[in-house]
Amino acid sequence: MYFRDRDAALAATSSGVPDSACDAYWYALNKVGTTFRVDTSLWVVQDWDISQGMLHIGTYYHVVYLPRGPNEYAIACTCARWRAGHVCLHQQVFQVQMDTLLRLPLIAPTPTPPAVLLHTTPFNDTHIFSCISSTGRYESGKRSIVSLQRDGRWHCQKAPISYVAVPPPRWCSLSFEPSLLASRPSHAAQLHFALDDSARCCCGMTLSAAKALSSHESTAHRTTVFGLTTQYSKTIELYPCPVCRHVRRQIGPDLGQYGIFNWNNSMLFSHELLNGFTNAYTASETPFSAFCLTVRRAYLEYGLDNAFCSDETFVRAWFAFTRLQNLESGMTCPTCGPSPEIVIVDGVSLGTHHSKLTPLVSPPTRVTDTSEVIESISSWKARALPAIIEADLRSLISKLLEITAVRIPTEFPNTSKLSNLYPDLMSLLRIYIGGGTGSPHYKPYRTLIQQIAAPDIVLQLVPYDAIELLFILNVRGPFMSSLPSMIQHRRIIICRSRGGKKRAPAMAFPPFDGPLDRDAEQMGDCNKFFKTYSKNSMTGGIMVLWCTHSICLGFHSIPIAEGRNDVFSAIYTRFPVAPKVIIYDFACQLAPYCLVREARYFGHTRFLIDEMHAHDHTRCGQACFASNAMRFDPQIRASNTSAAECGNGGMGRIRKSVSFMAYDHAIQFTKVFLDVWNRNKINRMAKET
């Protein structure tokens, strides 16, 4: 397709792809920086997944600008969509942004060398090259994307023959999905696979488009179908691809209607075999190598020459197959809905090696040079959110509660600073001590003072929604008018019982030196620190969101180590409305962090520590504990605060396999596991109702 000017180009392709997709694609290309200008008329761009709204990991295409005159040019692309209809998203973006693209600097010298390094992932894990397709006298100028992996192997970018969506297996199909009751396809009676309308090449060229470009004859070839227990020898009809022009790249049928995944026309895999591995590794710890070994042994029962494919080939075929399979669970609980009121968050030590990190997988916590910086937000502001800001005064109050736990002593520390800064709290302390240990209000007073002196954010004790109610109580409550006289009466009793002198403070005692007198730690007063998973050069694992029914609501990778930003980013980017309750094993420090960054979004959210991890928080107030909230909140009482631990226990089955995978494969492998987990949980919930 040729264009005489930019306006004609835009008019010609305005109906191809929505403008919103083009804008999002161009924005992502600028953010990630995956647009490379190889020479004056050739670019390489990363592909875009329109359905997911994100860059396609590991997939790149060449786009060439072909000038035909002063005001006439053409744009060609190597993607399958352009080859089929000469219209694609990449072409449309280039027509809109051509002026900007022509100003990009060249990344290669002139003349362009046979191989040009485009991109290197962090830690030199993968090197991506643009390589010339042919050399010699009849060189066409076409180039291909080739990657050099860390293991020293070269891989040329290509796709499988099969491309039609595959339904989920029956054992994890949901009640509303047709695959639950549909008959299982079979290839047993099929000795020959003929071409049909679904046939295509691995480059994306369809049969109808190929016949319009050439007039070759189709031929029959031998092919092997790998089943769960044996292999089958059959024939398949193939048509030469006019674009690839390679003996191993021919147009073949999809074969999904026979329950077969067409990998490369010569090696076919049954859905039963591929679903068998999904079933095995989601039910128990089953690495690829162990599964392939069991299949290889089963093949030997049908003959010593009945061989299975290599482990590497099966791994590549399985990942390509699951990309086509409709295993998506929606990451939504059917009971809790899209915005659950209670969300349980926890990190899982499910990491890969640092050398396998790649910027193509970007968690919501990633910060780049173009990220927005808001100077007014600082984590140091969180230190001013406790009821008692000064750490030394919190230690002093803790010491007072410690020495008055069993009996009232005769000597007390110096509380003059506390009296000056917090006179109301000092009055409450006098009431607490003056009543003695025999007072019926001794324990409630003590519990209240412990919570006030805790390092937690004050909104843990008094939620934002309760402030207005307390104000009404303060204005209308008859008890409040008599409180000053009661405090004065209690003060006189304390002074008389302690033999205080008129010139001395009510509690003027020598300062003490104890462990609680130390300053707070850098990350807060809590003894529960962030877990560090970066041992043995591994990444930090994943951050997972769960509902109270143990349904996974989403996850993202942690490149280094788990932190409060992982929880904040996961919640903030996942739900349009903040949950009413967030349960996390480090909720005491998560609360001030979230409120400092997004007070309006998290203003009505309560942050609670789950029951399992509560014993680690020795200095936190009871208002932080889910066990305390269960006493008066029936919704939290009915919740399983250990739902995250249940899910984490299940994910231990894939920890070993994930640790050896490439980063993008690890994410896909985990996603399939969690989708199957959700589907089984949803089916179990449906049976119980």
String of DSSP letters for 245-304:
-BTTBEEB---GGGTEEESSSSEEEEHHHHHHHHHHHHHS---HHHHHHHHHHHHHTT-T
- If we measure between CA atoms, which residue out of 561, 555, 629, 619 comes closest to residue 589? 619
Rounded to two decimals, the pTM is: 0.69
Q: What is the mean pLDDT of residues 365-380?
A: 73
Distances from the Cα of 113 to the Cα of 105, 117, 572, angstroms = 16, 10, 46
Q: What is the mean pLDDT of residues 601-612?
A: 88
Q: What is the mean pLDDT of residues 50-64?
A: 82
pLDDT at 526: 46
What type of residue sits at position 164?
V
CB atoms within 10 A of CB 285: 13
- Does the pLDDT of residue 476 top 60, yes or no? no
pLDDT in tens, 231-247: 999 999 999 988 766 66
Q: Is 266 exposed, middle or buried (0-12, 13-18, 19+ CB in 10 A)?
A: middle
- Does the pLDDT of residue 138 top 60, yes or no? no
The domain locations on the chain are 2-112, 170-324, 342-358+526-688, 384-517
Tell me the two tokens of residue 674.
Answer: 């969690």
Helix, coil or strand: residue 128: strand
The label of the residue with tokens 């620190």 reads 529
Q: Which residues contact 215 (CB under 8 A, 6 or more apart)?
A: none
Q: What is the mean pLDDT of residues 234-262?
A: 87
Cβ atoms 608, 629 nearer than 8 A: yes
Mean pLDDT, the chain, rounded, equals: 80
- Does the pLDDT of residue 146 top 90, yes or no? no
Residue 192 or residue 249, greater confidence = 192
CA distance 500 to 504: 7
pLDDT at 578: 93
CA distance 202 to 213: 17
- Does the pLDDT of residue 382 top 70, yes or no? no
pLDDT at 345: 92
Helix, coil or strand: residue 539: coil
CA distance 56 to 385: 43
- Does the pLDDT of residue 528 top 50, yes or no? no
Q: Which residues contact 442 (CB under 8 A, 6 or more apart)?
A: 432, 435, 436
Q: Is 81 exposed, middle or buried (0-12, 13-18, 19+ CB in 10 A)?
A: middle
The label of the residue with tokens 């998973």 reads 533
Tell me the two tokens of residue 82.
Answer: 């352009």
pLDDT at 202: 84
The continuous run of DSSP H or E covering 355 comes out as none
pLDDT at 293: 96
Confidence class of residue 381 from pLDDT cuts 50, 70 and 90? low
Residue 530 or residue 116, greater confidence = 116
Residue 151 or residue 567, greater confidence = 567
Quote the crossing angle between the two packed helices 663-688 and 271-283, to the nearest 10°. 80
Pairing mode of beta strands 260-262, 250-251 = unpaired
Percent helix, strand, coil in the chain (nearest 5)?
Answer: 40, 20, 40
pLDDT at 151: 55
pLDDT at 610: 86
pLDDT at 171: 95
pLDDT in tens, 424-455: 888 888 888 888 878 888 888 888 888 888 88
Residue 139 or residue 620, greater confidence = 620
Cβ atoms 541, 533 nearer than 8 A: yes
Residue 126 or residue 54, greater confidence = 54
- Does the pLDDT of residue 308 top 90, yes or no? yes
What type of residue sits at position 689?
T
Number of H helices, E strands in the chain: 24, 20
CA distance 595 to 447: 25
CA distance 225 to 231: 6
- Does the pLDDT of residue 494 top 50, yes or no? no
Q: Could you give the percent of the chain with pLDDT greater than 70? A: 81
Q: What is the DSSP string of 29-67?
A: HHHHT-EEEEETTEEEEEEEETTTTEEEEEEEEEEEEEE
- Does the pLDDT of residue 651 top 50, yes or no? yes
- Does the pLDDT of residue 366 top 60, yes or no? yes
pLDDT at 495: 41
Q: What is the mean pLDDT of residues 570-586?
A: 92
CA distance 271 to 323: 13
Helix, coil or strand: residue 102: coil
Q: 52's torsion region: left (phi>0), alpha (psi -120 to 50) or beta?
A: alpha
DSSP secondary structure letter of residue 234: E
- Does the pLDDT of residue 376 top 80, yes or no? no
CB atoms within 10 A of CB 359: 15
Confidence class of residue 360 from pLDDT cuts 50, 70 and 90? low
pLDDT at 443: 85
- Does the pLDDT of residue 380 top 70, yes or no? no
CA distance 548 to 636: 9
Confidence class of residue 525 from pLDDT cuts 50, 70 and 90? very low
The continuous run of DSSP H or E covering 199 comes out as none
pLDDT at 527: 40
Residue 409 or residue 38, greater confidence = 38
CB atoms within 10 A of CB 343: 28
Beta-ladder partners of 44? 36, 62
What type of residue sits at position 524?
G
- Does the pLDDT of residue 346 top 70, yes or no? yes
CA distance 298 to 430: 80
Q: Which residues contact 17 (CB under 8 A, 6 or more apart)?
A: 50, 88, 89, 92
pLDDT at 12: 42
